[in-house]
């Protein structure tokens, strides 16, 4: 079974600064997807960014980018020019392409605080 | 923009009672999921559903749980006899197809409180 670990329970960043959230995962599979989801106080899960394991190029979405290190099984999220609205729980998630359900396996989350 | 909806937003029930949590997935989606999140803990997979049957389920999804797609739009999670430890946020999600790297869209969740 796959596991996802987020070693930082909490992080804080000054508004307009850059912050990196860490995620590592354990798998023996070669074909999978990785995701970062944001969960604001409203509790709804919002997809931030996705990475396909077979793509070497790191995904970017506006101020959000990832550093995907497949050999190291590491998938960190970088938020540039942090904004107050970025304050939320961030979950790293793994999705296998080998099981029928394609369900997500989540890490424990990192609470990001943004200081004005 | 289409979205997943869930009702009710908050359900309070007594231990031993049956509850049904409802979800309306995005209309052209084919894969449906239930996840739960106990307060302060990680989001956990419960079950996935495709083509009117369960495609995968976790150890949490025991005989007390069942899912159904009673019509063309709703997707329900039933807990037959609730326990205190079932108190959690329950999220429904849906996804378009398996052939493309499609994402799961989550609903806003139902907070279930078992007293």
Contact A43 B89 (CB under 8 A): yes
**Across the interface, which of A47, A103, A108 has its CB nearest the CB of B45?**
A103
User: Average pLDDT of B29-45?
Assistant: 93
Mean pLDDT of chain B: 92
The answer to whether B5 faces chain A, any CB pair under 8 Å, is no
When mean pLDDT is compared across A88-92, A107-111, B68-72, B86-90, the lowest value belongs to B68-72
The answer to whether residues A51 and A78 touch, using CB atoms and an 8 Å cutoff, is no
Task: State the DSSP code for B103.
Answer: P
A115 closest CA partner among A19, A8, A10, A15: A15
Q: How confident is the model at residue A42 (pLDDT cuts 50, 70, 90)?
A: confident
Q: Residue B100 pLDDT more than 70?
A: no
The answer to whether residues A9 and A111 touch, using CB atoms and an 8 Å cutoff, is yes
Contact A101 B109 (CB under 8 A): no
Greater model confidence, B4 or B101: B4
Secondary structure of residue B48 in the 3-state scheme? strand
Model pLDDT, residue B98 = 57
Q: Residue B101 pLDDT more than 60?
A: no
| Residue in B closest to A109 by C-alpha | B42
Cα B96 to Cα B99: distance, rounded to the nearest angstrom: 9
Q: How confident is the model at residue A101 (pLDDT cuts 50, 70, 90)?
A: confident
B112 closest CA partner among B3, B15, B5: B15
Q: Give pLDDT tens digits for A5-15.
A: 999 999 999 99
CA distances from A9 to A85, A89, A108, B13 (A): 19, 9, 8, 32
| Residue in A closest to B37 by C-alpha | A43
Q: Residue B1 pLDDT more than 80?
A: no
For chain A, helix, strand, coil in percent to 5 are 5, 55, 45
Residues in chain B with CB shorter than 8 Å from the CB of A37 are: 106
Cα A66 to Cα A74: distance, rounded to the nearest angstrom: 10
Q: Give pLDDT tens digits for B83-97.
A: 999 999 999 999 987
Model pLDDT, residue A2 = 84
Report the DSSP pairing between strands A110-115 and B88-95.
unpaired
Q: Give pLDDT tens digits for A51-96.
A: 999 988 999 999 999 999 999 999 999 999 999 999 999 999 999 8
Q: Mutate one of A102, A107, A109 to test the B interface: name it (highest B CB count within 10 A).
A: A102
Residues in chain A with CB shorter than 8 Å from the CB of B91 are: 45
Cα B53 to Cα B88: distance, rounded to the nearest angstrom: 24
| Residue in B closest to A97 by C-alpha | B98
Beta bridge partners of B114: B13
Contact A52 B101 (CB under 8 A): yes
């Amino acid at each position: 079974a796959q596991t996802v670990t987020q070693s930082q329970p909490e992080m804080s960043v000054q508004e307009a600064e850059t912050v990196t959230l860490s995620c590592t995962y354990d798998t023996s599979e070669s074909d999978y997807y990785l995701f970062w989801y944001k969960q604001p106080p409203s509790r709804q899960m919002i997809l931030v960014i996705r990475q396909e394991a077979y793509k070497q190029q790191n995904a970017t979405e506006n101020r959000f980018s990832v550093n995907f290190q497949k050999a190291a099984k590491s998938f960190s999220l970088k938020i540039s020019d942090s904004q107050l609205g970025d304050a939320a729980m961030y979950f790293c998630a793994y999705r296998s392409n080998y099981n029928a359900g394609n369900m997500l396996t989540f890490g424990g989350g990192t609470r990001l605080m943004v200081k004005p | 923009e289409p979205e997943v909806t869930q009702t009710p937003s908050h359900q309070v029930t007594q231990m031993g009672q049956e509850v049904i949590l409802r979800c309306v997935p995005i209309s052209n989606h084919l894969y449906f999921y239930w996840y739960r999140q106990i307060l302060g803990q990680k989001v956990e997979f419960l079950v996935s559903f495709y083509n009117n049957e369960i495609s995968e389920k976790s150890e949490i999804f025991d005989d007390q749980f069942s899912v159904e797609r009673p019509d063309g739009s709703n997707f329900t999670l039933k807990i037959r006899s609730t326990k205190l430890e079932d108190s959690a946020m329950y999220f429904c999600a849906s996804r378009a197809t398996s052939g493309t790297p499609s994402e799961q869209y989550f609903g806003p969740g139902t907070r279930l409180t078992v007293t």
